[in-house]
Amino acid sequence: MIQFPDGFAWGSSTSGPQTEGRVQGDGKGDNLWDYWFSQEPNRFHEGIGPEQTSGFYENWESDIELLSATGHSMFRTSIQWSRIFPLGEGEVNQSGVDFYRRVFERIKSKGIQLLVNLYHFDLPFALQEKGDGWENRATVEAYEAYARFCFETYGDLVDRWITFNEPIVPVEFGYFYDGHYPHKVDAQAAVRVAYHTQLASSLAVKACHEVNPAAKIGIVLNLTPAYPRSQHPADLKAARIAELFQAKSFLDPSVLGGYPPELIQLLKEQELLPAVAAAELQTIKEHRVDFLGVNYYQPLRVAAPRYLPHPEAPLMPDRFYEPYAMPGRKINPHRGWEIYEQGIYDIAEMIKQHYGNIEWILTENGMGVEGEERFRQDGVIQDDYRIDFVKGHLRELHRAIQDGANCKGYLMWTFIDCWSWLNGYKNRYGLIELNLQTQERKIKKSGHWFKTVSQQNGFDA
């Protein structure tokens, strides 16, 4: 038996925009995804947009029963900013406020620790339309006010707060690549958005501790170490720069209170340093997170770029590093991603050695599978592949904890099969199967197994 420490938490993570859906008269305002889908539904897999998702807004009571049925002792979800403030600021949607209170009260009544994230890629569209969203300093102030409202309204129910989930993702896909709205392909805008997001996170930490000094608040980052193709100096440099962009751009200011000098120098060389105020940098320095959420799916393997950039091409991260597909890597054949369990151990060592061994939770880890219905037998999806995936990663997490990692829980992505941005329902991750047509939920084999793991606080090796 691989046994985890007493008090170790077991559960899953999800998000409001990926599960709640919308119903007529719910008062929710459009976020970026609602608007983008209304404009270009053809860009979304099978034309499935954010209005349906997993129907949690209507099925939350029975869904919370399924949390207990799958052994949850911890659950992470998110508040949709535009459900509370339809325009991002100003008038409050009371039905949205009441919805989250009912949900949180029910989760707490089940004895489940509640983690609530304030932002999961879902900026209210009104703030984008009004002033270019996160490019605008005013959005930082609107977010701070929204966060403070949430701390004051739900602080009696929430065990841990989270400021942002994977804030580097909207920066990369919204401002370097054409992957998220507003798909600008503008390096200066990308850096400005990243800085404003970090400042907003730090101001939320400040507000949270002002409302309740004992509250715990953190940030969720995808902290994948960058593995170089070789020990060649050019590959090592590529990995170092990749890590600066991918992880340290938010990790260092959130935990250490300042930006890495090498990142500042690199941005300066590219004439990309944003306008900053000394008081803002002081806010970032003084208001650091209490814990980290860490998301891990696959390793980041990089190599030195093969070609010099075109002098007129827009600046992209691949000017400094490019992805590397390691020969012989283990692959999830249903999704195409590499499986590298040791990445969890390496992340734990990095946190321990360079970030004061801050308390952390593995907030996302999971296996997406396309066409999962083909594994259904006797009415239940027999997802032994997912069980094996989780076991492999838990072995590495257990090894890291034995070696001193300060990890307090393991949360899978995700609870019920959910909508995944442009991919819709192409890849299923849930412990529970969702039938999109009937909205029927069925626990998969992995869901029953996960409950046993939670009850035993471990599993048979």
Q: Which residues are catalytic?
A: 166, 364
Question: End-to-end distance of the chain based on CA atoms, in angstroms?
Answer: 5
Q: How many CB atoms lie under 10 A from the CB of residue 380?
A: 15
Peptide bond preceding 53 in cis form (omega within 30 of 0)? no
Residue 94 C-alpha from the chain's centroid: 27
